Amino acid sequence: MQDKADISFHVPSIGEEEIAEVVDTLRSGWLTTGRRTEQFEREFREYVGAPHALAVNSCTAALHLALISLGIGSGDEVITTPLTFCATVNAILHVGATPVLADIGPDGNLDVRSVEERITRRTRAILPVHFAGLPCRMDAIWDLARRYGLQVIEDAAHAAGATYDGRRIGASGDGGPESDAVAFSFYATKNITTGEGGMVTTPRADIAQRMRILCLHGISADAWKRYSVKGNWKYSVVECGWKYNLSDIQSAIGIHQLRKLDSFTQAKTALARRYSERLCRLDEVETPAEFARGTHAWHLYCIRLRTELLSIDRDEFILELREYGIGASVHFIPIPLHPAYAGICSLSADLCPRAMEMYPRLVTLPLYPSMTESQADRVIDAVEMILTRHRSHSRVRVSSIAV
Ligand SMILES: *Cc1c(COP(=O)(O)O)cnc(C)c1O
The predicted model gives 385-391 an average pLDDT of: 96
Helices (H), ranges, 14-164: 16-28, 35-48, 59-69, 86-94, 112-118, 138-148
Give the Cα separation of 31 and 228 in Å (integer): 13
In whole angstroms, how far apart are CA 262 and each of 30, 259, 296, 380?
A: 29, 7, 11, 25
The predicted model gives 145-157 an average pLDDT of: 98
Give the Cα separation of 219 and 237 in Å (integer): 4
Given phi > 0 = left and psi -120 to 50 = alpha, else beta, which region is 71? left
CA of 249 to the centre of ligand 1 (A): 20
Give the Cα separation of 252 and 250 in Å (integer): 5
pLDDT in tens, 81-140: 999 999 999 999 999 999 999 999 999 999 999 999 999 999 999 999 999 999 999 999
The pTM of the full predicted model, rounded to 2 decimals, is 0.95
**DSSP 3-state percent helix, strand, coil across the chain (nearest 5):** 45, 15, 40
User: In this structure, are residues 114 and 102 in contact, taking their beta carbons and an 8 Å threshold?
Assistant: yes
Please work out, in degrees rounded to the nearest 5, the angle formed at the alpha carbon of residue 79 by the alpha carbons of 76 and 82: 135
Q: Is the CB of 250 under 6 A from ligand 1?
A: no
190 is catalytic: yes
Name the residue of 56, 65, 84, 85 to mutate for ligand 1: max ligand atoms within 8 A of Cβ.
85
First-to-final CA distance of the chain: 36
Q: Is the pLDDT of residue 67 over 50?
A: yes
Q: Is the CB of 59 under 6 A from ligand 1?
A: yes
Q: Is the CB of 185 under 6 A from ligand 1?
A: yes
Helices (H), ranges, 162-298: 205-214, 248-279
pLDDT at 226: 57
Q: Is the pLDDT of residue 158 over 60?
A: yes
Q: Identify the weakest region by mean pLDDT among 87-91, 232-236, 239-243, 334-338.
A: 232-236
Give the Cα separation of 53 and 200 in Å (integer): 6
Q: Is the CB of 129 under 6 A from ligand 1?
A: yes
List the residue whose alpha carbon is closest to atom 1 of ligand 1: 157
CA of 60 to the centre of ligand 1 (A): 6
